[in-house]
Amino acid sequence: MASGDYTNSIKMKNAYTRPCNSNNYNVNELSTRVVYNIEKYRYNTIAKTIKKYFITPVKNGSVTFTIEAYLRNFLVNQSVSVYSDVNYFEGNIVSYDQISGEITINNINCLNGSFNDNLFYSVCLLGFNPEVIKLNKRMKDLYQYLFQVDIDVFPEYDPNIELLYLYRLQITRLYKYLFDTNLENEPEYSIDYNYLENKINEIYFYFFNLDIKRNEDFNPNNNEIKLNSIKQTINQIYLYLFNIDLNNNPKFNINTNS
């Protein structure tokens, strides 16, 4: 090789290996740094916060904190669960800086916990956790079996609210049949458990002259079922008056005999 070619080769090598804004470089150090950074990238599906955080997530809100860096699987719009020993919520990744590890999660839901302390948190990609996938399938099957609801289609479905409206329906139909009264016209009418419990208790008092809140062992059908819930008090009075088991026919309407 001619001396001029050798000099040009050295210049080109320098141009590709010199660190930015520096006149001093070390080829071995730079190569080590590049290889090290490549090896840092990982494909974890669970990451931990780098320190304790005091976070106060709210439904449909967002939170930001810092987790481990260089995680290839943590992508925008991924669904994640975030949990500590005592707190839990789910959401979607809005952004994740693979260098700093800063992550922002929004569309927060499924909140559980007090969130009143500085804690370490773990962030888990829901789509990559086989146990979570199994649990989600079981929950979907359970909702379909118990409530005939596809929670993928109706993700906001709340069985507690649906039961409350079912109890309201059953009690208002009772009052319509027994007393020709429309409860919805009453000034104190309310769709809540206290109101509905009081109205079904009034029916028991009307027929049996007792307060079932103080007589849970009483049963008009003389079976072993205790009247310790609004569901049981409604079911047992329907069974007593109409010989109808609401467990088999929860939307039975005595006013139309169907």
pLDDT at 216 (0 to 100): 79
Distance CA 54, CA 90 (A): 17
Q: pTM of the predicted model, to two decimals?
A: 0.49
Q: Which is more confidently placed, 215 or 28?
A: 215
**Percentage of residues of the chain with pLDDT beyond 70:** 80
Range 164-184 average pLDDT: 94
Q: For the sheet containing 102-112, what is the strand order?
A: 46-48, 122-125, 79-83, 88-96, 102-112, 63-66
Least confident of 54-58, 157-161, 165-169: 157-161
Distance CA 155, CA 149 (A): 9
Range 48-77 average pLDDT: 93
pLDDT bracket for residue 214 (50, 70, 90): confident
Residue 29 has pLDDT above 50, yes or no: no
Q: Helix 27-40 vs helix 3-17: angle between axes, to the nearest 10 degrees?
A: 40
Range 148-166 average pLDDT: 83
Q: Which is more confidently placed, 212 or 40?
A: 212
Residue 10 has pLDDT above 50, yes or no: no
Q: Give the chain's domains with CATH numbers.
A: 3-40 (no CATH), 46-147 (2.40.30), 159-242 (no CATH)
Q: How far is CA 190 from CA 83, 101, 182, in A?
A: 37, 50, 13
Beta bridge partners of 229: none
pLDDT at 51 (0 to 100): 95
pLDDT bracket for residue 128 (50, 70, 90): low
Find all residues with CB under 8 Å of 14, minimum gap 6, and list them.
25
pLDDT at 236 (0 to 100): 96
Residue 95 has pLDDT above 70, yes or no: yes
**Percentage of residues of the chain with pLDDT beyond 90:** 55
pLDDT bracket for residue 74 (50, 70, 90): very high
pLDDT at 9 (0 to 100): 45
- E strand or H helix at 208: helix 193-208
The string of DSSP letters for 40-65 reads H-B--SEEEBSS-B-----TT--EEE
pLDDT at 194 (0 to 100): 92
Instruction: Give CA torsion, residues 242, 200, 190, 114, to 10 deg.
Output: -110
Residue 108 has pLDDT above 60, yes or no: yes
